[in-house]
Chains A and B, each alone.
Chain A
């Protein structure tokens, strides 16, 4: 199976129904994407597929062969992604950090669709779970990004 991840073509030798998360972590050793529940319940495994946030634990590799996959390892190669990470640092969002690669992917996908999200939009789109309760910091960082005051740390 051929997968295009972060602009690089990878060959993985897996069954077509293997979850993308397994291919990333076990076959390609890209462990930035986290395994939380394996059941599409938490969002720790969120990656971007053609710019859309998907939960890689419930995405069969067969479905994304040929698509362009972005993981946390390469998020800063993207302008918006770079700004999101900078805002995350500025607002000191992560606590334990386990959910944060997923949160960053979800925020990047939201801001691409809706550059100026309202609180309600953020509530609607940011449904990843955070055990440490960083929801308020996430919201502040996204608002900050939407108002344009975080410029990617440049």
Chain B
């Protein structure tokens, strides 16, 4: 045997074998759980189950693990990725088809580390990078609720349509090392308790960043806490532009007071905006159920995040000029103005200022001031969802103009809105409307990238 061959047999092969074994071990290993040693604890107390139900409102599990008309937590929501569709799973306590056989440690590993009971890695459409920050107490309460407070439903999970080899889950183990925070929330001792509670809710349980933080090419959120300027700085998701939640005067919460933020999350509306797009569901299922103290903490924390004047541009100021141009003779010469008066002005006002907290203004609205016009186009095409506050449905709702207005008319009217009353944003182009019109047809098979909400 030549020296070379010998070397191959004695060094390279064993070394590769060790490496392969090491990799295999790593990508299939069960991450640590603080509950490994916790045995069965017997019946949880009613208080713990109730506390868990509250935590489930904070974490908004129902948003993805349910479909309209289906039983709560039975999964089935389709999430389209560029590689194929995945479906949210049954997380009711059914022993075979749900998570009834999960121990507390299994549950914890799925929730905070993204690893299922059988060891497969979850796609980060499940916001475990945010849930990683949940406290042990909240995890325990959530587990008690899912085992005892949620009825078991024997419903089969739907299979993902991602083809082999893209459907292999183990590479996600490496993604997790690089991108997923793995530690519970650690309070910042330089900040007060309310701020820290807000940070825990926004960065962790509420996983606001899943929609509001821009993602990089690997689909990871560009920032996961207040130290990053990218955190909740606004992002395009599912055909909606989730605006900045930082103190950006135009595209964020710069002009909102803490009380405005509180009222928005509690009642779904304030004088600046009314929930629409995916936020309607987040409000209907989640934020309105936060305790007042928790909502105030969220508002307090968000208002501490600095804006970025460079990204945001010159702060908006109301200009009444356009209102005069809207007289019958004047508006015939301005593209979009006639459509505005005939279709939009009766609710949003000829002055663009809306009607108090009931109908949102378009003048100075974040959706009118962000470069990305997706939200404006989407809400015009498809209208807004039903906002149900404290069990009462809203009196006023944006209707769908999909059948009434052409791509060109929508482009013109939105361009008009985005350049009136002090709004100064780029025009909306017809092809953008066309694209979103096709993408948002309910039966469309075109991918809407990473449906995470």
Residues of chain A touching chain B, judged by Cβ–Cβ distance below 8 Å, are 17-19, 39-41, 54-55, 58-60, 62-63, 110, 113-114, 117-118, 120-121, 124-125, 127
Supplied contacts A59-B355, A60-B396, 12 more A-B pairs, CB within 8 Å:
A40-B399, A55-B346, A58-B346, A58-B347, A58-B355, A62-B356, A63-B356, A113-B328, A114-B328, A117-B328, A120-B329, A124-B329
Q: How far is the CA of A106 from the CA of B176 in the complex (A)?
A: 62
> Which residue from chain B places its CB closest to the CB of A41 in the assembled complex?
B399
Q: Are A114 and B346 in contact (CB under 8 A)?
A: no
Q: Are A124 and B341 in contact (CB under 8 A)?
A: yes
> Which residue from chain A places its CB closest to the CB of B397 in the assembled complex?
A39
Q: Are A19 and B328 in contact (CB under 8 A)?
A: no
> Knowing A19-B395, A60-B395 touch, does A121 contact B356 (C-beta < 8 A)?
no
> Which residue from chain B places its CB closest to the CB of A53 in the assembled complex?
B346
Q: Are A124 and B332 in contact (CB under 8 A)?
A: yes
Task: Tell me, yes or no, whether B99 is within 8 Å of chain A by CB.
Answer: no
Task: Tell me, yes or no, whether B358 is within 8 Å of chain A by CB.
Answer: yes
Q: Given the complex, which residues of A lie within 8 Å of B338, measured CB to CB?
A: 124
27 A–B contact pairs at CB < 8 A? A17-B395, A17-B396, A19-B395, A19-B396, A39-B397, A39-B399, A40-B347, A54-B346, A58-B346, A58-B347, A58-B355, A58-B359, A60-B355, A60-B356, A60-B358, A63-B358, A110-B328, A114-B327, A114-B328, A117-B328, A120-B332, A121-B328, A124-B329, A124-B332, A124-B341, A124-B342, A127-B341
Q: Are A40 and B346 in contact (CB under 8 A)?
A: yes
* Shortest Cβ gap from B183 to chain A (Å): 45
Q: Are A114 and B342 in contact (CB under 8 A)?
A: no
Q: How many residues of B contact A (CB 8 A)?
A: 18
Q: Given the complex, which residues of B lie within 8 Å of A113, measured CB to CB?
A: 327-328
* Shortest Cβ gap from A96 to chain B (Å): 23
> Which residue from chain B places its CB closest to the CB of A52 in the assembled complex?
B350
Task: Tell me, yes or no, whether B437 is within 8 Å of chain A by CB.
Answer: no
Interface of A is mostly: mixed
Q: How far is the CA of A19 from the CA of B47 in the complex (A)?
A: 42
Q: Are B359 and A124 in contact (CB under 8 A)?
A: no
Q: How far is the CA of A19 from the CA of B396 in the complex (A)?
A: 9
Most buried by A among B342, B346, B356: B346
Interface string of B313-340 (1 = CB under 8 A from A): 0000000000000011101100000100
Within 8 A of A (CB), among B352-403: 355-356, 358-359, 395-397, 399
Q: How far is the CA of A17 from the CA of B399 in the complex (A)?
A: 18
Q: Are A124 and B331 in contact (CB under 8 A)?
A: yes
Q: How far is the CA of A112 from the CA of B399 in the complex (A)?
A: 30
Q: Are B328 and A124 in contact (CB under 8 A)?
A: yes
Q: Given the complex, which residues of A lie within 8 Å of B395, measured CB to CB?
A: 17-19, 60
Complex A-B, nearest 9 residue pairs according to Cβ-Cβ distance, in ascending order? A127-B342, A40-B346, A55-B346, A121-B328, A124-B328, A125-B328, A60-B358, A58-B347, A17-B395
> Which residue from chain B places its CB closest to the CB of A55 in the assembled complex?
B346
* Shortest Cβ gap from B273 to chain A (Å): 16
Most buried by B among A39, A54, A117, A124: A124
Q: Given the complex, which residues of B lie within 8 Å of A62, measured CB to CB?
A: 356, 358
* Shortest Cβ gap from A88 to chain B (Å): 20
* Shortest Cβ gap from B264 to chain A (Å): 16
Q: How far is the CA of A41 from the CA of B342 in the complex (A)?
A: 9
Q: How far is the CA of A59 from the CA of B395 in the complex (A)?
A: 10
